[in-house]
Amino acid sequence: MIFLAVRYLLARRRQTILTLLGIFFGTAAYIAISGFMLGFRGYFVNQLVNNNAHVHIQPREDFLTDHSLDLEFFGKSFDHAFWDPAPSGRKDSAIVEDPQAWYRRLAADPRVLAFSPQLTAAVIFSNGKATAPATIIGCDPLQQMKVTTIADYIVEGSFTDLAAGGNRVVLGDELRKRLGVRLLQNVMVASATNVPIPFKVVGIFRTGSRFADQGAYGALADIQAVNRTPNQVNEIAVRLEDYLQSAPIASTWSSLGQEKVESWDQLNANIFEVFRLQDAIRYVSIGAILVVAAFGIYNVLNMTVMQKRKDIAILRSLGYQSRDIIVLFFSQGVILGFSGALLGAIFGYLFSRYMQTIPFAGGPMGGRGPGGTLIISYDPKIYIQAVSLALLSAIFASLLPARAAGKLTPIEIIRAGAE
Amino acid sequence: MGIVARGVGKKIGNPEVRILSDISLEIRSGEFVALTGRSGSGKSTLLYILSTLDFASEGDVEIDRRNVAEMSAQETSVLRNQKIGFVFQFHYLLAELTALENVLMPARKIGKTEELTGYARELLQSFGLEGKEDRLPRQLSGGEQQRLAIARALLMKPRYLFADEPTGSLDSINSEIVMKIIRDSNQKFGTTVIMVTHDLGFARWADRRIHLVDGRIAPVPPTG
């Protein structure tokens, strides 16, 4: 019956092409939009997962509430105690209280790939008359390279040069521009409580993120000295064997000490909410296109069944069964759906290739793309989903007319023709 | 072997209208039978019941000693495909297929297209359609279309050929050609022919006439 179905479709070319276009555009749009959105998302998640630690162990947060001081003053907590003014502020710590315990724990955990103690400090950089407040991360460079991909973004110098110690610094490109400094020159670094200390610029990094590129890295001991907090760290960045286990591991570790332990996805939960919203919009909009296309198929097939009633009578009189008639009309819908989906997938792919050439320099997406262009996802799942959705809509649209055709008996048609 | 009807009746519609009443007949294998009667006498309805395209409201129809009502859809399909050929008043050809493809449609059902292509060409040749195998039905004349429809009905060498006013839409010359083909298939191949016709001249070509009046078998009028 496929042979006859193809002949039917070829005989009414214009109608066939118009119906096919609906599925074609639905599929192509799904692939192009999904490729763009997921390309951006993949890049973004990649940045989150690879550029930064999977788990962050930071000082505990303890904010004062209306009843935080009840115990200290009255020996028990009261719901009806009213403070005027109510206590406010925080009584947490700015440092990881017992980092050595964490180091032992992390070193013994087989799920941990690497960890890097850090001291993040707010400092003021100056180079002659140019000054810039910035955040500097003190770390063990070799450990930091195992935990983040910062070394990949070095555009001048070397990140490992920090390991030699002796007041060396790697600057973000934005910060370097603001200071007007070059590689191997000195900049002055001062904390709020210390006199400026000269640091030698041994590297420049450019991540593409303006915020990140306004920061700097130094050796942990040097930054502890600048900050006058020897042996103290305010974060331990951890990289895991499996980043997908970050959230459950972070939850387990939270119960082991006072520190705040958060995974990369917990830290960016709001971003994932946006992604979910994007997905919903993507599915609804493409669903709407495919529903319209499915109605096109439904209408065309319904009309064809009406027009081909005589053919149904002939075929039944020649020994073709009800199921053959169902196949005859159902396969037309499936052929339309499959052809439209296939052509749409090819066009969607080609359009994605074109989008990949669109310049998008300067933004986060342009940072690492070849020549600073849009990053497009070619995940096979997108194509499988697009083709499956198109086929499913075509199948649903074809079922009713095909079943109606299968139910027609030859004598009904002959009698109707005779009237 | 043959077709037997016992007490066949047919009612259709709501409210019910009786079309046929108490039809009992026997058509022996190899016979050429003409069903005659006025319009509305029920002859076409009887033809469709005898040919399995319709079913009787009352009574039984047997084809080759098998009760049609007891056959499964699959058995009925095989019967129509391999033992029965139909010719309608209007040719009922598939407009999208060529002449040869139309003739081969019954063979396509059982996957014997290649096997029967030679025979299909022979049929077209013997029906004066040589060289027109690749034409679409609309590129043929009315007479040629009807001959093509008969070729399709005869492709599977059916035991029974049912024809519903096969010359009803043709001029006298083409009617004559079509009737000769039908008679030849009866005489040369022993095909049992049951034909509904208004044309008393062609009715006389049959071995026997069954005349219907108001849904019942009636004596053949002496004038006709």
From chain A, pick out residues whose CB is under 8 angstroms from the CB of B148.
none
* A-to-B residue pairs, Cβ atoms closer than 8 angstroms: 56
Backbone angles phi, psi at B80, to 5 degrees: -65, -35
From chain B, pick out residues whose CB is under 8 angstroms from the CB of A418.
44
CB contact under 8 A, A319 and B96: no
Q: Where are the domains of chain A?
A: 2-48+271-418, 55-63+89-262
From chain A, pick out residues whose CB is under 8 angstroms from the CB of B96.
4, 7-8, 10-11
CB contact under 8 A, B96 and A411: no
From chain A, pick out residues whose CB is under 8 angstroms from the CB of B82.
319
Residue of chain B whose alpha carbon sits nearest to that of A10: B96
CB contact under 8 A, B106 and A319: yes
Q: Which residue has the higher pLDDT, A349 or A64?
A: A349
| Among the partner residues B54, B73, B80, nearest to A318 by beta-carbon distance | B80
Which residues have a Cβ under 8 Å from the Cβ of A419 and sit 6 or more positions away? none
Residue of chain A whose alpha carbon sits nearest to that of B75: A319
For chain A, the C-alpha Rg in angstroms (whole number) is 33
Separation between Cα atoms, residue A116 and residue A137, nearest integer Å = 11
| Among the partner residues B78, B82, B94, nearest to A314 by beta-carbon distance | B94
So what's the pLDDT on residue A265?
85
Residue pLDDT, tens place only, A266-294: 888 888 888 888 888 888 888 888 888 88
B112: contact with A, CB 8 A cutoff: no
CB contact under 8 A, B109 and A11: no
Residue of chain B whose alpha carbon sits nearest to that of A8: B96
CB contact under 8 A, A318 and B48: no
Q: Mean pLDDT throughout A167-173?
A: 95
Which residues have a Cβ under 8 Å from the Cβ of B160 and sit 6 or more positions away? B3, B51, B63, B83, B84, B85, B191, B192, B193, B194
Residue A12 reports pLDDT greater than 80: yes
Predicted TM-score (pTM) of the model is 0.70
| Cis peptide leading into residue B158 (ω within 30°) | no
From chain A, pick out residues whose CB is under 8 angstroms from the CB of B19.
none
CA dihedral A292, A298, A301, A305 (to 10 degrees): -150
Query: How many angstroms separate the first and last alpha carbons of chain A?
Result: 29
What are the C-alpha distances in Å from A100 to residues A94, A146, A228, A271, B160?
16, 19, 19, 33, 99
Separation between Cα atoms, residue A7 and residue A332, nearest integer Å = 10
- Contact criterion met (CB below 8 Å) for B19 and B10: yes
Residue A368 reports pLDDT greater than 70: no
So what's the pLDDT on residue A138?
94
- Contact criterion met (CB below 8 Å) for A351 and A28: yes
Q: In terms of DSSP H, where are the helices of B51-204?
A: 73-82, 99-103, 105-109, 113-126, 142-154, 172-189, 200-203
Residue pLDDT, tens place only, A325-365: 999 999 999 999 999 999 999 999 999 999 988 887 554 44
So what's the pLDDT on residue A367?
46
CA dihedral A240, A242, A244, A250 (to 10 degrees): -30
Separation between Cα atoms, residue B175 and residue B167, nearest integer Å = 5
Residue pLDDT, tens place only, A134-159: 999 999 999 999 998 888 889 999 99
CB contact under 8 A, B109 and A3: no
CB contact under 8 A, A317 and B82: no
Give the amino acid at A404: A
Residue A27 reports pLDDT greater than 60: yes
B106: contact with A, CB 8 A cutoff: yes
B109: contact with A, CB 8 A cutoff: yes
So what's the pLDDT on residue A417?
62
- Joined together, the tokens standing for residue A42 give 């993949």
Largest CA distance in chain B: 52
Q: Tell me which of B92, B146, B152 to substitute to probe the interface with A (most A C-beta atoms closer than 10 Å).
A: B92
CA dihedral A333, A334, A335, A340 (to 10 degrees): 90
Q: What's the complex ipTM?
A: 0.88
What are the C-alpha distances in Å from A182 to residues A29, A154, A173, A186, A299?
47, 14, 10, 8, 70
* CB hemisphere CA count around A133 (13 angstroms): 4
Residue A193 reports pLDDT greater than 80: no
The interface residues of chain B toward chain A in range 32-61, judged by CB-CB distance below 8 A, are 44, 48, 53-54
* CB hemisphere CA count around B120 (13 angstroms): 24
Separation between Cα atoms, residue A55 and residue A113, nearest integer Å = 11
- Contact criterion met (CB below 8 Å) for A366 and A358: no
Separation between Cα atoms, residue A409 and residue B54, nearest integer Å = 9
From chain A, pick out residues whose CB is under 8 angstroms from the CB of B86.
317-318
- The rounded mean pLDDT for chain A is 87
Per-residue pLDDT band at A419 (split at 50, 70, 90): very low
From chain A, pick out residues whose CB is under 8 angstroms from the CB of B198.
none
B95: contact with A, CB 8 A cutoff: yes
Residue pLDDT, tens place only, B179-213: 888 898 898 888 999 999 888 888 888 889 999 99
So what's the pLDDT on residue B175?
85
Per the rule left: phi > 0, alpha: psi between -120 and 50, beta: everything else, A243 is: alpha
Give the amino acid at A400: L
Residue of chain B whose alpha carbon sits nearest to that of A313: B92
Q: Where are the domains of chain B?
A: 2-218
So what's the pLDDT on residue B91?
66
Backbone angles phi, psi at A89, to 5 degrees: 110, -165
Residue of chain A whose alpha carbon sits nearest to that of B105: A318
Separation between Cα atoms, residue B62 and residue A51, nearest integer Å = 83
Residues A40-71 as b or e (16 or more Cβ within 10 Å = b): bbebbbebbbebbbbbbbbbeeeeeeebbbbe
- Contact criterion met (CB below 8 Å) for A319 and B80: yes
So what's the pLDDT on residue B9?
92
Per the rule left: phi > 0, alpha: psi between -120 and 50, beta: everything else, A342 is: alpha
Q: Mean pLDDT throughout A175-192?
A: 92
Residue of chain A whose alpha carbon sits nearest to that of B39: A418
CATH architecture of B2-218: 3-Layer(aba) Sandwich (3.40)
Per-residue pLDDT tens digits of chain B, which is 224 residues long: 889 999 999 998 888 888 899 999 999 999 999 999 988 889 889 999 999 988 899 999 999 989 988 999 899 999 999 999 988 877 688 989 999 999 999 999 998 899 999 989 988 988 888 889 999 999 998 888 988 998 898 898 899 999 988 888 778 888 888 888 889 889 888 899 999 988 888 888 888 999 999 989 888 887 65
Q: Nearest Cα to B31, choosing from B165, B187, B200?
A: B187
From chain A, pick out residues whose CB is under 8 angstroms from the CB of B95.
11
From chain B, pick out residues whose CB is under 8 angstroms from the CB of A406.
none
Residue of chain B whose alpha carbon sits nearest to that of A415: B45
